[in-house]
Structure 1
Amino acid sequence: MQHVTSADGTAIAVHRSGRGTPVVIVGGAFSMARDASALAEALVDRGFEAVTFDRRARGDSGDTKPFAPEREAEDVAAVVEAVGGSAALLGHSSGALVALLAAAHSAGAPGGDAHGADSSAAGTAIAHLFLSEPPMRFGQQEPPADLADRLQALVDAGRDGEAVTTFQLEGVGLPPQMVEGIKASPLFAHLQTLAQSTVYDAAVAAATSTPDERLLSLAVPTTVLVGVETMPVLERAAPMLVERMPSAELVRVPESVNHAIDPAATAAIVAERLGA
């Protein structure tokens, strides 16, 4: 493990394995670098350097406030810079949204964010985008607009468990009975340690749920992946994104079931697109 420093000074924990073209894996909600170990191994077997990292406010990475979605794009840029300045990005779920923001950041989209930070490119290049089941809603059944603010209020009040369940119910759209089952499981204690990250995932989702022109017009080759038996919002979002994004193609991955990314099948798709 190594730490790289993002633009706002946040330390981001990075793990690298293998040799070859770097593929940076951007995990989804509640995930950490270790959760992508099987996918990383499959990529290494295909001749890539697999790069995993703890997104900010998770695991061994730090967190610096104030937050804006652009901060996560800068985190990815710092990771890419550390592995040579050029990489493919493979983002799953909310990680796909972060990967898309990172590609726009790398492309030097004009303007700053609400906090006045410069969003120009940081000298990195994104060779290919792999977006696995991005949770875009395109204006349909959007979470409440104040979700991120309410989650932050819960975290500030020390109500981490409530922040987790609120995000699962309102941000992800999990059925109440499933959320209750998770709450009663041993996993819930770990999820509470990631409560701050729910605020950031909610903010990233709100910023990208209906992607704007700077995201849709990216020239980066893009592969949008969708599995089977996944959530209806994800099944709907993938083709809607491809229809609107000229650089994108849709690839269905029957081996990926229930919003879980299949390592071997996904690595094979990456290898085919990157020529490994």
Structure 2
Amino acid sequence: MLVHGTSSGRRRWLPVLDKLPGDRAYWMLDRRGRGLSGDQARYALSDEVADIAAVAEAAKAEEIVAHSYGAILALEAALELPRLRRIVLYEPPVPVPPCTPDPVDEANIAAIGAEVEAGRRDEAVTIFMRDVLKMPPASIAAVRGGADWQARVDLAATLPRELAAVRAYRFQPEKFRNCRFAVLLLLGSDSPKRYVDAMQMLAEGLPNARIERLEGQRHNAISEAPDLFSSAVGRFLQD
């Protein structure tokens, strides 16, 4: 099963779908507020976790590949999936202790929310990519020129709530002590320190976990280096 992150939907996986091992089916989930998936006024991380667990259970999924915020959700859902054997987590933005509020992050979230409220969704997505994800200008330009840009703009209203959920999330390693599934933590070699620290914390707190670096990449290897990403995932799934 494939679980996308913030500012995207199931189409996020199209650049790599035909490059992943072809001996299995891949369920591409649309999270809340995307595609045919419903939404509601109340938003909670726990509801999204329950969604993923329910779909994975219905699909009898033994493997999950997840990106960014979707990787946080998939990790929490894994606790409810006894049949799970492997999970790939590509740069989940897990807060690292002491988890004190960062004025810059607070300002970015406020700015994104203000742009959404003003109807400037294009600018809200740009702020998210530039100031939250720290994507370089060339990468942002490539996304803006891609087929999915308008879909990302249409989803801009989901950004503030998901960023707030990330900010409030706390990884609790004690919950995972008895988990048997193997974990591949994918990290771009050029990614910001916040991702490096988060992945190191997960590697230390999760049983059967290891980090693999994607050389020359940051948070967008699914689109910018699909062969490299798919190769790393494929080796892990077929190990």
Q: Does TM-score exceed 0.5, indicating one fold?
A: yes
Aligned-partner residue type, residue 94 of structure 2: M
Secondary structure in structure 1 of the residue aligned to 2:19: helix
Question: Is the alpha carbon distance of 1:40 and 1:247 closer, same or farther for their aligned partners in structure 2, counting shifts above 3 Å?
Answer: same
**Partner Cα distance (2:230, 2:15) in 1:** 10
8 Å contact 1:147–1:202 — kept in the other structure?
Answer: no
Q: Greater helix share, 1 or 2?
A: 2
Q: Secondary structure at the match of 1:257?
A: coil
* Alignment match, 2:218: 258
Asked if 1:213 corresponds to 2:173, the answer is yes
Query: Are the equivalent residues in 1 in contact too, given 2:173–2:205 (CA < 8 A)?
Result: no
Superposition deviation, residue 224 in structure 1: 0.8
The structure 2 residue matched to 1:77, chosen from 53, 67, 80, is 53
- Counterparts of 2:205 and 2:175, CA distance in 1: 10
Residue pair 1:228, 1:253 contacting (<8 A) in 2 also = yes
Structure 2 vs 1, CA of residues 170 and 227 (structure 1 numbering), >3 Å: closer, same or farther? closer
Residue type matched to 2:88 in 1? Answer: F
Partner of 1:196: 157
Query: 8 Å contact 2:8–2:152 — kept in the other structure?
Result: no
Given candidates 114, 118, 131, the residue that maps to 2:89 is 131
Higher relative contact order (CA 8 A, sep 6+): 2
How many residues in Structure 1 have an aligned counterpart in Structure 2? 229
State the 1:36 CA deviation: 0.4
Q: Please give the alpha-carbon distance, in whole angstroms, between the structure 2 residues aligned to 1:101 and 1:56.
A: 16
Match of 1:64 among 29, 33, 40: 40
Q: Which has more strand, going by share of residues?
A: 1
How much is the aligned-residue C-alpha RMSD, in angstroms? 3.5
Consecutive unaligned residues in structure 1, runs of 5 or more: 1-23, 108-123
Q: Is 2:6 the counterpart of 1:43?
A: no
Equivalent residue, structure 2, for 1:17: none
**Contact 2:134–2:192 (8 Å) recurs in 1:** no
Shift of 1:156: 5.9
Alpha-carbon distance in 2 for matches of 1:247, 1:207: 26
Partner SS state of residue 49, structure 1: coil
CA distance in 2, matches of 1:249, 1:216: 15
Match of 1:121 in 2: none
Does 2:78 align with 1:103?
yes
Q: 1:222 aligns with which of 183, 200, 213?
A: 183
In 2: Cα distance, 1:50 partner to 1:264 partner: 17
1:168 Cα offset (Å): 4.3
Deviation at 1:132, TM superposition (A): 0.9
Q: Residue 212 of structure 1: CA displacement?
A: 1.9
Relative to structure 1, the CA distance from residue 57 to residue 149 in structure 2 (aligned partners, 3 Å threshold; closer, same or farther) is farther
Q: Distance in 2 between matches of 1:189 and 1:267?
A: 25
Shift of 1:157: 6.3
Equivalent residue, structure 1, for 2:6: 29
Give the TM-score normalised by structure 2: 0.75
Percent identity at matched positions?
28
**5+ residue gaps, structure 2:** none
